[in-house]
Structures are given as C-alpha cells and as structure tokens.
Structure 1
Amino acid sequence: MINVCTRLRRAIVRNDLRLVQRIVRSNPNVLQNPDYGDKSNTSLHLACKQGFIEIAEFLVEAGHDDETISYNGDGNTPLMTAAEAGHVDIAQMLIETFPRCVPWANSKQQDALMLACKSGALPLLPILLAADHPADLAQADADGNTALHHASAAGELKAIRLLLQHGASPLAQNRNRWTPIQYSATAAAELYFKNLVAEFEKRRVEGMKEAREWERERDRQRMGGVRLVTSEEAGVVPSTGHWDWSPVEARRAMTPTTGRSEPFVFPSPPPAGPRARARSGD
C-alpha cells in the first residue's frame, strides 16, 4: 500500500487539486512533507517547481510556511524555486504572502532576482524590485556576481535593460574582476549592452544638468530679495498735506451705506500745522 507522503507528492505532480485537498485535510501533519530523497523539497516547493498555482494557493491557505519559511537542500525557498522555474504567477503570490523573504539568498548566495534573471522571468523582475522588502541590485552571490551578471550571461537583453533602468551598476566586478558586460553571450549582445550603458549615462548627465539649472534658478530667486514698490508703480495718487493713504486703503472698495443716495465723499485731510489740544468737559 502506498503511504500518505508518497500519495501526496504524486497528487501534486499530477495537478490533482481535489486529491491534494483530501489528503491534507485528512492528514494535516503531512502538509509540508519534505522529500529527503529530492533535496528535501516540501509540498510547496514541488507545486512551485511544477507551476501549479491552485495547489500552491491551497497549501499556503492550509498553513504551509506559516511558522517559518521552508528551505530545501540547496537553501532555496519556494519563491526561489518558482523564480528559477520561471513561474511568475506563483512567485507573485508568494511575494504578496511572504514579502520578507524576497531579499533572502540560498546556499550559493543567490536571491530570487538572480534566479529570475537566469530563467528569463522578465515580468517578475519589477515585482521583486518593488516589493515591501525589495531585492537588492547590489547583492552578489558567492562568486561575486550580481543580478546583472546573471542576466548578461543568460543573454536576457530585456532583463539587462530593466535592471539598468532601476540603477544596476554595469561596472560591478565579481571575484574574477569581470563586469557584467564581459559576460555577454554574443557580440551583438555586447554591442547592445554597451549602447544601453551609453544611453543611460547620457540620460544621467542630462538629469544632472537639469537639476543644477533648477538649483541655480532657485538660488537666484532666493538671492533676489524684496523690491520696494513706489506709489507711482502701485497706481496710487499721493495726497497733499500729511495724510498719506496706503495703497491698500486707496484700492479698497467702500461698503455701501443703507439709504444713502449721494456718493460717498472722503473726509478732508486735517489742516497742516500743530494740532489743537482737545478741550476738557470743564
């Protein structure tokens, strides 16, 4: 008779969701079910490797990796397994469910971003770079290779462009002091890579020029100070005597008076000379 663990693995490989559900619900203790004969891959690793999104979602909902994220013998998490296999839909679900594991690395110090570059899972790259715990473009594996090294070696030209757009350094050197461009798969790929680097460098320089122009304009405005406005510039006719109206008062609309038929007349300015002392009530 086939034991429960083997039956569960066979049901996952056959993409038999109903059988997987029935086995797990009847035997919740075999949910993770690591296969020690296959790099200790768990049920979720197996579903991610095969690309069966519905089974992967069920396993996660059933509590797989609730307590700790599972690793296989290579140090790969289920997310890394999905990225390496190029299954974007499963990888996206795992990123949303377990965002903290996005920058984690396996035993070779390779993260999900590097594995996605190698497998050509292009739609996964911006998701990994925009996650709550995003992948690090400067992360290097045990040989000093960055994600850009892996994309170049795999000949993934679209991945190269996307990584450069997000700020990956084309000058990063691995342990052998080789840059990503030196891993170009073909001469055409190398030329494409060089043109991309020149294009982004030109954009960077233009952006710096624009930033400096903006800063200079801002400084000019700050150093301009406050200019005094004369009464003639303000459109104010100066009055005679010592009674000077402010520009604000001269332009202010007067409040209409109820029942008044004749136009409002401004009071005459006070006479020049010393002001008479007010009399007391004595």
Structure 2
Amino acid sequence: MDPSLHKAAVQGGVASLRKLVAERPGILSSKTPRGNTALHNAAELGHTYFAQEALGVNDSLLLSKNADGDTPLHLASRAGQLDVVDLLISREGALPAEHPHPLLMSNKAGDTPLHAAVKHGRSAMALKLLDAEPGRSHALNVEKLSPLHIAAREGLADVVAKIVSQPWVHERYDPSDSGTPLHQAILGGHTRKYTSHACLS
C-alpha cells in the first residue's frame, strides 16, 4: 500500500484520500503486507467519513479480506466501532445480489462479525449485529463455538437474552462439540447470570 494512502486511512484524512484517488484511481485496491485495504484500517480505527468516501469510490472494498480472512466489518465489529458498522451494513444493498452478504462472511477461524464482537466483549455491537441479521447467532466457527456459546462464556447477559429470545433458536440450534452454552457459561464463571435461561442447557 502506498504510504500516503496508509497515513490517510489511519488518520481518517478524507481530503488526502480524494487527492490520491484523483491522481491514481485504482489506489484503493492496494493492500498492506497483512492484506488490509485502506477500508480495513479506517474501519478498525473508527474513521466513518473516510470509510464512506472509500466505499463511494469502490463498494467492493466491503467484501475484501485480509490475510486472516477478516473483512472491514470484522475489524470494525471487533473494535466496537458502532458508527462504522452502521455505515458498512447500510452499504450492503449497493452490492450486486450475487455477492455474499458481509454479515454472513466468515474469516479463516470461521468467525462471522458477530463472533468477533462477542469474543471481544462488545455487547452493544453484538446487539446491533443481531438486529441486522439474527440468524447468524447459531453459526459455528472452526472451534465449534457459536456466538451464543461465546457470549455465555464472556458473561454478555444482554446478548444471551436477545439470542435465546429468538424463536428459531429452539428449531435450528446445532449442537456443538464444545458443549452447550451453559457449559461455556460455567467455564467463564457466569452461571449465576444464566440460571433463568433453561434453553442454555
């Protein structure tokens, strides 16, 4: 990646981005050695206006993956950047119908953006992602853990309550080799929070 673009992304420099794109229209396709685009960097650091400008130039950046398979939405979700996530979710409709849905995309660990949010204790972010796509809270990653398992282990009671309140949990729950969400709550030392949620057992 051009150092000037990297600096603009890290600092959220919209004017710098516009200048760079005017000089080199394809510059936003460049990546760091870790495979991050400028949108990855801006999303992780919470630079919403930079992200909006970048997506206005190239919407396909929304689907770009780095060396770990993370999309910009993964990084923003992990970092708790609520405004950026709002933007990224809103831009999904600009993509052609045959493209994957960013909320459903998994990285190399099998984590969706929702997994990333709960792994890092981002309750508000997880609730926002659940509002946008509630059907991913049962998806298992490579470790055979769903966002429900991880939320229970991390003590995210509000996230657990929201997930188990969805009627499809009882119909589509896929048992995991790592035990039930109640097992994960016990491992995380959070059983007192969940004793009222019988469906965790």
The verdict on a shared fold, with TM-score over 0.5 as the criterion, is yes
1:207-218 alignment, distance < 5 Å = none
Structure 2 Cα separation of the partners of residues 147 and 85 of structure 1: 16
1:1-282 alignment, distance < 5 Å = 5-36=2-33, 39-65=34-60, 69-98=63-92, 100-131=101-132, 135-167=135-167, 168=169, 173-176=175-178, 178-184=179-185, 187=189, 189-195=190-196, 197-198=197-198
SS of 2:136's partner is: coil
Indicate if the aligned counterparts of 1:75 and 1:107 stay in contact, CA closer than 8 A: yes
Structure 2 Cα separation of the partners of residues 105 and 26 of structure 1: 34
Aligned match of 1:278:
none
Q: How many residues align?
A: 189
Deviation at 1:81, TM superposition (A): 1.3
Deviation at 1:135, TM superposition (A): 4.0
Structure 1 Cα separation of the partners of residues 42 and 53 of structure 2: 10
Runs (5+) with no aligned partner, structure 1 = 202-282
Structure 2 Cα separation of the partners of residues 93 and 135 of structure 1: 20
Structure 2 Cα separation of the partners of residues 32 and 165 of structure 1: 41
AA at the equivalent of 1:174: S
Structure 1 Cα separation of the partners of residues 24 and 91 of structure 2: 24
Indicate if the aligned counterparts of 2:153 and 2:184 stay in contact, CA closer than 8 A: yes
SS of 1:28's partner is: coil
Structure 1 Cα separation of the partners of residues 40 and 165 of structure 2: 31
- Between the aligned residues of both structures, percent identity stands at 22
SS of 1:141's partner is: coil
AA at the equivalent of 1:123: A
The two structures, once aligned, show a CA RMSD in angstroms of: 2.5
Structure 1 Cα separation of the partners of residues 162 and 147 of structure 2: 11
Runs (5+) with no aligned partner, structure 2 = 94-100
Indicate if the aligned counterparts of 2:65 and 2:72 stay in contact, CA closer than 8 A: yes
AA at the equivalent of 2:67: G
Indicate if the aligned counterparts of 1:17 and 1:55 stay in contact, CA closer than 8 A: yes
Deviation at 1:173, TM superposition (A): 4.1
AA at the equivalent of 1:11: A
More helix, by proportion: 2
Indicate if the aligned counterparts of 1:103 and 1:134 stay in contact, CA closer than 8 A: no
Aligned match of 1:264:
none
AA at the equivalent of 2:48: I
Indicate if the aligned counterparts of 2:42 and 2:50 stay in contact, CA closer than 8 A: yes
Indicate if the aligned counterparts of 1:47 and 1:53 stay in contact, CA closer than 8 A: yes
Name whichever of 157-166 and 53-62 sits farther off. 157-166
SS of 2:163's partner is: helix
Deviation at 1:191, TM superposition (A): 1.4
**Deviations 1:43-63 (CA, angstroms, capped at 9, x unpaired):** 111111111111011100111
SS of 1:110's partner is: coil
Indicate if the aligned counterparts of 1:153 and 1:183 stay in contact, CA closer than 8 A: yes
Indicate if the aligned counterparts of 2:127 and 2:159 stay in contact, CA closer than 8 A: no
